[in-house]
Structure 1
Amino acid sequence: ATINMSGSAIYMTVAAIFVANAWHVDLTLLELGTMGFTTFLLAVATGGIPGGAAVSTGVLLHTMGLPIEAMAIILATDRITD
């Protein structure tokens, strides 16, 4: 079971906030709460494989209404940090 995926949750949250800042999107408190709950669910569902959190980050970006084009930047740096 992949219940304890706190590193994946942190990765997805930081990536989504980075994208929001890079694209000059202001996140409200409600959106941050939605991000926290969605990240919790995605962290439980993410497989414990290399690059698993990167795929879930795309789902989080889509859920938050952030540009999915930012995945190119995230995936380019993910190989280094993963």
Structure 2
Amino acid sequence: MRYQYVMVSEPSPGVPQFMSVAFLDGIPFVRYDSERGRAEPQTPWMEKGVEPGYWDERTQVYEKSRHVAATALEIGRGLYNQSGGD
């Protein structure tokens, strides 16, 4: 299993500020992006085979990850003087 997280400092139209995709054996099976604001299944077996409340719980986990990534991005920008200031 592999998770891919992407955070951008200045999203453009159609590009979410934060996105995460979970892969199993190279196949994406869960996706979250900050524009939709929900974790969503990417395969039929994930759509059908989860307990009630699973997607709400996963959404909360991804929201926390989004906040951590935003903080890390700001720290990185500050370390490399990319904060937008002069």
Whether TM-score is above 0.5 comes out as: no
Using CA pairs below 8 Å that are at least 6 residues apart, which structure has the higher relative contact order? 1
Look at both structures and tell me which one has the larger radius of gyration over its CA atoms: 2
Structure with more helix by fraction: 1
Which TM-score bucket, shorter chain as reference? 0.3 to 0.5
> Please, what TM-score do these two structures have when normalized by structure 1?
0.32
